[in-house]
Structure 1
Amino acid sequence: MNSIVRNVFWGELICLSLFLASCSDDSEPVCTLPISTKEMIYQVAQLTINTENAAPIMGKDKKDYVNCTFIIDSEIEEWDYNGTGRIRGRGNSTWLWYPKKPYRIKLDKKSEILGLATEKDWVLLANYRDPTHMMNTFTFIAGEKLGLPYTNHSRYVEVTLNGEYIGLYQLTEQVEQGSSRIAVDDEQGMLISLDADDGPELNPNGGDNFWSTVYRMPICVKHPEDATATQLKGVQDDFARLEQSIHDSDYETTARLMNIASFIDYMIIQELVYNVEVDAPRSIYMHKDKNGLWTMGPLWDFDAGFDFDWGTMYTGHNYFTSYRELVLGTDPVNHTGGYRVPSFFTDLFKNKRFVSEYKARWTEIKGEIMSEFWEETRRFAVGCSGAMKRNAECWPIDKNYQTEITRMKQWLQQRTDYLDTVIKNYPSGTK
């Protein structure tokens, strides 16, 4: 986080505090009292994109990039931007199924965008399925506050594309290796995704895909980019050693291969937001630096959490029905009452030391979920309230964003209380 963001984020919150105190839970986040420039980090910038010859953005492959210009107008003058680059579509279901499209941006020149670290590659998340616009943001905030490395940041922009207003978007970093992104070694660092949509089943000819050795999970090697057969074999063998130690619930060996603290925090977050995509798995990232430990993250893609109704995945925006559904279940080792997630994520629960540390970490952080993670999310929601209204007029759905944000808060409160009982009663382990 650079000095501007740090000063904004940790600056005086006097005006915002008064603002939040004046808003009732029932009416949030539509109160309209002004907030000071110290809180502009939570405000919405204006992003204008003009493609060359007003060319449409037709696809999400590398060949589909379209040349364009970008202009950002921010309440923080230092964040204004004018530059050139390329844009294309991105995503899987979000690109194919929904009318509001997400985009991938590649600038011609590495640049600091809205106070975020200098790079070329950025993402515009449409959040069309998410009626709150806050599901990814809440999770990113949780990851950052828990200390998960390389957690993405949230900025919000209203986008005008070739003269047409296309709504409220979440701007964030592209998940990739780099000195200002996932800063693992250029040659010997590793970044992988565990992803059924990016693995060998859907990419049988992809040179960067393989099935993991022990748990047979779909793996895509993101770094080294364009990995050679030798490099790919090296990643596969290295990951297999970690898998075997987890399969054996051998805490000491696993601790020599993986940052167990990151694993605990990562899984607590997955359960907290009920991210059932761990089951596939999808969008699960891990990284490893030269001579370092496998580490979970960055966190990515949470609009299928929060008790999303998969029965309406093509058209629905239905969340928050039940706070009692579980990913890991009441007995993670045996998948009792939960999803049949790969046992890579549960076999360590056989180990007494691991279970003890997991429970202790939950006890340590549970009080921060609403007092810190939610409160910062709420500030973003307040700052975005006007833009949410305009977005709803542009992309009308069968949900009211004000109501859904209130439901999200209530769901998180209830779920935190419920998980407190569930986690405290996890079996203590047998090894």
Structure 2
Amino acid sequence: MKQKKDDEIVEENYQVAKLYITTENQTEITSKERYLNCIVQFESDNENWNYTADARIRGRGNSTWLWYPKKPYRIKLNTKAPILGLPADKDWVLLSNYRDPTHLMNTFVFTVGKNLRIPFPNHSRYVEVTLNDEYIGLYQLTEQIEQGTNRVAILEDEGILLSLDADDGPYLAPDETDNFWSEKYHMPVCIKNPKIITEDKLLEIKNEFALFENAINNAVYSEVESLLDIASFIDFMIIQELVYNVEVDAPRSIYIHKNKNGKWTMGPLWDFDAGFDFDWGTMYTGHNYFNSYQELVLGTSPVSHTGGYHVPSFFTDLFKNQQFVNKYKQRWLEIKDKIISEYWASTLLYADEFKIAMERENERWPIDKDNITEINRMENWIEKRVNYLSDVINNYPAGIK
């Protein structure tokens, strides 16, 4: 292949590829638990990214699997491989983005997170998928969140990856041995790594998390700093508020990890198509966003939950501490002017490339929204929200410790 300049190589990441999936005997995918054997074939304008392999596939997701006609999927290759220029692994996710009329919500957050250096960010590749000879639309291909060299790079046996999630945790699966209610804040915790959980390991993780929770509750900066990467926590919470991710309230899809003898660190970021002022009154049909830019997750006073969701105090008790509040405000001032000029501008490059594919998507899955109009509405909403949050964050109470 002809050698390309650096800026041209970057542009390849935004191109839309083709993905052909053929299940064994062309069997329909009806389960989130049972994998079907399949063959996957990727075709890209970059010939080096073309790839065909044996794999398995199943459904994935919660509301996105249950409520909507366009389904998300999880692919497990039989052999690790670099897909569309991403580092090699077996496990990949196809996000349907049916609820999201822009197809950019997760991509925007991934882009912000990468620029803020939240560890182990997911990437986005857009693919038009044909399943068993039937065109099923435009999908976002990204990494499965899991322990791994090219995923969450923590130790396989000693590293800890947790999901704070009402659906994945003990609320819906109380008999599973990989989840528990946390001691201090009663958070629903699901252990994603280690994969093998003995009674002793479960107790060890519970105790470590309880120690961490107690430090947050005490809100003594030096005590918290010894256990938590505070910078990652600040960036993580800024993003939740920026996109009005109300699922922090449940919580859902909140990941946190630590290596052996390391600090708890927020991330990776995941699942943001319920943000951006999503209209939950139309949740079974989706597509309705951006009505108000003035709704708040953390409120005008995070500690007292004034003017916002009553999110678990796990996410707000650090605002008792004056040093934490000062660092939070300082970080917002550092990044706020980059949100539109850099992070959103980078996100729009994907939209520029998937315009033609979106026409086919709209024919396959017609909804009552125009993609370009909704992208413009999203930009306007983010721009107004940044200005609004600047006043809100500047006026956060200073803290009492």
Match of 2:11 among 28, 39, 58: 39
What is the identity, as a one-letter code, of the residue corresponding to 2:303?
V
Partner of 2:25: 53
Match of 2:218 among 230, 233, 248: 248
Query: How is 1:72-83 mapped onto 2 (pairs within 5 angstroms)?
Result: 72-83=42-53
Partner of 1:317: 287
What is the identity, as a one-letter code, of the residue corresponding to 2:6?
G
What is the identity, as a one-letter code, of the residue corresponding to 1:11?
D
CA–CA separation in structure 2 for the residues paired with 1:232 and 1:75? 47
Q: Secondary structure at the match of 2:82?
A: strand
What is the identity, as a one-letter code, of the residue corresponding to 2:222?
E
CA–CA separation in structure 2 for the residues paired with 1:316 and 1:189? 37
CA–CA separation in structure 1 for the residues paired with 2:62 and 2:212? 29
Match of 2:355 among 385, 397, 422: 385
Partner of 1:374: 344
Partner of 2:263: 293
Q: Secondary structure at the match of 1:42?
A: coil
Partner of 2:6: 11
CA–CA separation in structure 2 for the residues paired with 1:391 and 1:229? 48
What is the identity, as a one-letter code, of the residue corresponding to 2:44?
S
The answer (yes or no) to whether the contact 1:207–1:226 under 8 Å persists in 2 is no
CA–CA separation in structure 1 for the residues paired with 2:359 and 2:321? 50
Q: 1:226 offset after TM fit, Å?
A: 2.8
CA offsets 1:86-134 (integer angstroms, 9 cap, x no match)? 0000000000000000000000000000111100000000000000000
Structure 1 length-normalised TM: 0.91
What is the identity, as a one-letter code, of the residue corresponding to 2:327?
E
Q: 1:286 offset after TM fit, Å?
A: 0.3
Q: 1:41 offset after TM fit, Å?
A: 1.4
Q: 1:224 offset after TM fit, Å?
A: 0.6
The answer (yes or no) to whether the contact 2:169–2:188 under 8 Å persists in 1 is yes
Q: 1:40 offset after TM fit, Å?
A: 2.1
Partner of 1:15: none
Q: Secondary structure at the match of 1:332?
A: coil
Q: 1:37 offset after TM fit, Å?
A: 6.5
CA–CA separation in structure 1 for the residues paired with 2:269 and 2:385? 20
Query: How is 1:157-172 mapped onto 2 (pairs within 5 angstroms)?
Result: 157-172=127-142
Q: 1:316 offset after TM fit, Å?
A: 2.6
Partner of 2:57: 87
CA offsets 1:224-250 (integer angstroms, 9 cap, x no match)? 113111111111110111100100111
What is the identity, as a one-letter code, of the residue corresponding to 2:159?
G
Q: Secondary structure at the match of 1:333?
A: coil
Partner of 1:144: 114
CA–CA separation in structure 2 for the residues paired with 1:205 and 1:214? 21
Partner of 1:177: 147
The answer (yes or no) to whether the contact 1:125–1:171 under 8 Å persists in 2 is yes
Q: CA RMSD in A?
A: 1.2
| Counterpart check, 1:128 vs 2:98 | yes
CA–CA separation in structure 2 for the residues paired with 1:209 and 1:106? 24
Match of 2:176 among 185, 206, 213: 206
Query: How is 1:303-342 mapped onto 2 (pairs within 5 angstroms)?
Result: 303-342=273-312
CA–CA separation in structure 2 for the residues paired with 1:138 and 1:121? 22
What is the identity, as a one-letter code, of the residue corresponding to 1:299?
L
Partner of 2:164: 194
Q: 1:38 offset after TM fit, Å?
A: 5.3
Match of 1:365 among 335, 339, 364: 335
CA–CA separation in structure 2 for the residues paired with 1:118 and 1:41? 16
The answer (yes or no) to whether the contact 2:100–2:286 under 8 Å persists in 1 is no
Q: 1:326 offset after TM fit, Å?
A: 0.3
CA offsets 1:61-101 (integer angstroms, 9 cap, x no match)? 1xx10000011000111111110110000000000000000
Q: Secondary structure at the match of 1:171?
A: strand
The answer (yes or no) to whether the contact 1:284–1:299 under 8 Å persists in 2 is yes
Query: How is 1:407-422 mapped onto 2 (pairs within 5 angstroms)?
Result: 407-422=377-392
The answer (yes or no) to whether the contact 1:209–1:218 under 8 Å persists in 2 is yes
CA–CA separation in structure 2 for the residues paired with 1:141 and 1:229? 39
Q: Secondary structure at the match of 1:220?
A: strand
CA–CA separation in structure 1 for the residues paired with 2:291 and 2:92? 33
CA offsets 1:199-241 (integer angstroms, 9 cap, x no match)? 1110011010100000001000000113111111111110111
Runs of 4+ in 1 over 6 A off after TM superposition: none
| Counterpart check, 1:220 vs 2:215 | no
Q: Secondary structure at the match of 2:141?
A: strand
Structure 2 length-normalised TM: 0.98
Q: How many residues end up aligned between the 2 structures?
A: 400
Q: 1:145 offset after TM fit, Å?
A: 0.3
Q: Secondary structure at the match of 1:71?
A: strand
The answer (yes or no) to whether the contact 1:69–1:83 under 8 Å persists in 2 is yes
The answer (yes or no) to whether the contact 2:299–2:306 under 8 Å persists in 1 is yes
CA offsets 1:184-209 (integer angstroms, 9 cap, x no match)? 11111000000000111100110101
Q: 1:362 offset after TM fit, Å?
A: 0.3
Query: How is 1:255-266 mapped onto 2 (pairs within 5 angstroms)?
Result: 255-266=225-236
